[in-house]
Copies of this chain bind each other. A is one copy, B any other.
């Protein structure tokens, strides 16, 4: 029997692939605030999910329940189990996997990193960097190392949409001098440099400062030497139960900065995005016609 020992949540997940659009929408709604969201009548949950009641019936039958009442009976049992056993809950991220599974150990570590990084992070620094990035008069340059190059690229790709006057330096240092040559006073150089700090980053930072550029550094808890030259530094916790360092929290801060910049200059950005949409559309047409 499909719904015998597994939880309703499990059953939904395991069938998710076979669900249709409206059913997925319903499933999302049920899983959001699970299992309480499934306590009401079929009418209520259909309304909450924005689907019709027949959709609900079809889905629960597809999941292997006899009908809605049967489905709800199972939910009630789970609620009962949950409530009578309040301490359990959430000691595991990926349920159905042992607590020692890499996913769970990683999740714990990243949570810790995020918590530590944010509690150490100065909000004023964040706000100031956001406003520097928002200033369209300043040119923006992004650079990362072998591993962090992808982060620099990610940051750059977004900022390039949001505002003009941005550049991504290749992670290969040979082309850097020509960028420095073009830097103007007030320009902003965003450096990603985590352990196994690359010596050349310091040279780059030094040269950029000579051109009058401001520097922002993303680094780890042991701090890149380039940070000495920086106006602002983000010290990110990067340890993971892995032979490699984790960039998750760094990406988190990058995304938060992107949103901060985005929202502070929404009016101007909106226009740019519309234009961009148009350009993409054109490109697509070109391809079809070609």
Interface residues in A39-94 (C-beta closer than 8 Å to B)? 39-40, 76, 79-80, 82-84, 86-87, 89-90, 93-94
Name A93's contact: one of B16, B28, B33, B115 (CB within 8 Å).
B115
Q: Any chain B CB within 8 A of the CB of A123?
A: yes
Residue-wise interface mask of A (80-113) relative to B, using a CB-CB cutoff of 8 A (1 in contact, 0 not): 1011101101100111110001110011001100
A210: min CB distance to chain B, Å? 21
Residues of B within 8 A of A35 (CB): 83
Given contacts A79-B36, A259-B106, whether A90 and B94 have CB atoms under 8 Å apart is no
Residues of B within 8 A of A150 (CB): 150-151, 153-154, 157
Q: Any chain B CB within 8 A of the CB of A185?
A: no
Given contacts A110-B252, A118-B107, A259-B102, whether A90 and B87 have CB atoms under 8 Å apart is yes
| Cβ–Cβ contact B119 & A9, under 8 A | yes
Across the two chains, which residue of chain B brings its CB closest to A41? B69
Q: Any chain B CB within 8 A of the CB of A158?
A: yes
Interface residues in A228-277 (C-beta closer than 8 Å to B)? 233, 235, 240-244, 246-248, 251-252, 255-256, 258-260, 262-263, 266
Interface residues in A154-192 (C-beta closer than 8 Å to B)? 154, 157-158
Across the two chains, which residue of chain B brings its CB closest to A9? B119
How many angstroms from the CA of A258 to the CA of B116 in the assembled complex? 23
Q: Any chain B CB within 8 A of the CB of A114?
A: yes
Residues of B within 8 A of A103 (CB): 118, 121, 123, 126, 256
How many copies the complex holds: the figure is: 2
A175: min CB distance to chain B, Å? 14
A216: min CB distance to chain B, Å? 15
Q: Any chain B CB within 8 A of the CB of A282?
A: no
The count of chain A contact residues (Cβ–Cβ below 8 Å) is: 78
| Cβ–Cβ contact B87 & A36, under 8 A | no
A19: min CB distance to chain B, Å? 10
Residues of B within 8 A of A76 (CB): 36, 39-40
| Cβ–Cβ contact A260 & B82, under 8 A | no
Residues of B within 8 A of A266 (CB): 243
How many angstroms from the CA of A76 to the CA of B65 in the assembled complex? 23
Residues of B within 8 A of A33 (CB): 80, 84
Q: Any chain B CB within 8 A of the CB of A128?
A: no
Q: Any chain B CB within 8 A of the CB of A139?
A: no
Residues of B within 8 A of A40 (CB): 76
List the 5 closest pairs (A to B, CB-CB), nearest first: A150-B154, A242-B259, A97-B123, A36-B80, A93-B118
Given A9-B119, A149-B153, 13 extra CB contacts under 8 A: A14-B122, A31-B120, A35-B83, A39-B80, A86-B87, A94-B121, A97-B123, A111-B111, A150-B157, A199-B284, A241-B259, A243-B262, A244-B262
